Structure 1
Amino acid sequence: MRNNWPDDDVILFDGVCVFCSRWVHFVSTRDIDKRFHFTTIQSPYGARLARTLGIDPGDPDTNAVIHGGKAHLQSDAALTVLSTLPRWRWVRALFWVPKPLRDAVYRLIARNRYRIFGKYDACMVPDADLRARVIE
């Protein structure tokens, strides 16, 4: 991680991105240990984390996860999160795919996420269970 971050198992995501919000819902429903917490890049906490990681909060090009004291970006972030979820540990095998190839696919989706999946006018409103895991 470029800088120390006091919290662990935090997923940073674009709260107005439909795809990103669905990703958070996907993770939260499968994270039976409730290990992960979530923060939108639009929140004060999330914007601070983004800047610490070198991500422009005004034009995010990646999600991120702090896990095991390290920051993971792009495809590493997605695979790191998935590989901790029950029944999804098999995705660890995808770490064998060369990172430049994985990240190229990730960037292609990230660049086109609003056009393909849509964009909310405001950050998603989480249900009560997820709300307890959101850091603002």
Structure 2
Amino acid sequence: MKETYILLYDGECGFCNFWVNWVMQNDREGIFNFASLQGNFGQNFLTDKKLSLTTFNTLYLIRPDGRVDEKSDAVIKICSLLGGWNKLAVVFKIFPKFLRHKIYDLVAKNRRKLASGNCPLPTKEQRKMFID
């Protein structure tokens, strides 16, 4: 049985939805499932972790063993799991976490400006990868 990872994201953000679509297109092994932070699964996750239920500016990756990566750590882990050229993202680990997270926070702060406004809807097949 293959291990699955859960990517939690801001479901109301075009930039975040673009990112989720990109992961789906590059997930050749089918190891990712997705849940918006606004949905039941996401809200339960935030409650369990004692995090804000209304702030959705952080990407979380729940590993099969229950560990959670967030922000730039989640992006790097996702890219490494996707394989191919995406694995090169691990080179960013040479930078200190505080600096990587600072850059992540800057992008997150401006993510709505970065979104083109066009947010493609997932296909019927892709919707099977969503938890709620």
1:77 alignment partner in structure 2: 74
Answer yes or no: is 1:41 the counterpart of 2:37: yes
| Aligned counterpart, 1:135 | 131
8 Å Cα contact 1:39-1:134 kept in structure 2: yes
Answer yes or no: is the 8 Å Cα contact 1:82–1:91 preserved in 2.
Answer: yes
Q: TM-score, normalised by structure 2?
A: 0.86
In structure 2, relative to structure 1, the CA distance for the partners of 1:13 and 1:135 (3 Å cut) is same
User: Would you say 1:22 and 2:18 are equivalent positions?
Assistant: yes
Task: Please say if residues 15 and 124 of structure 1, whose CA atoms lie closer than 8 Å, have aligned partners that are also in contact.
Answer: no
* Distance in 1, Cα, partners of 2:51 & 2:106: 17
Among 64, 71, 83, the residue aligned to 1:86: 83
Structure 1 match to 2:93: 95
Q: Structure 2 counterpart of 1:40, which letter? A: S
> How many pairs align?
128
Counterpart residue identity of residue 74, structure 1: K
Please tell me the residue identity of whatever aligns with 1:71: V
Task: Write out aligned runs for 1:3-18 (5 A).
Answer: 8-18=4-14
Moved over 3 A (4+): none
Q: Is the 8 A contact 1:17 1:118 kept in 2?
A: no
Distance 1:63 1:119, change over 3 A: farther
Could you say if the C-alpha distance between residues 54 and 76 of structure 1 is closer, same or farther in structure 2, counting changes exceeding 3 Å?
Answer: farther
CA distance in 2 between partners of 1:31 and 1:60 (Å)? 24
Higher helix share: 2
Bigger shift: residues 109-118 or 36-45: 109-118
Shift of 1:111: 1.2
**Identity within the alignment, %:** 27
Gaps (5+ residues) in structure 2?
none
Paired residues of 1:11 and 1:37 also in contact (CA < 8 A): yes
Deviation (angstroms), 1:50: 2.4
The answer as to whether partners of 1:65 and 1:73 remain within 8 angstroms in 2 is: yes
Q: CA deviation at 1:68?
A: 4.4
Partner of 1:105: 103
Alignment-mate amino acid for residue 100 of structure 2 = R
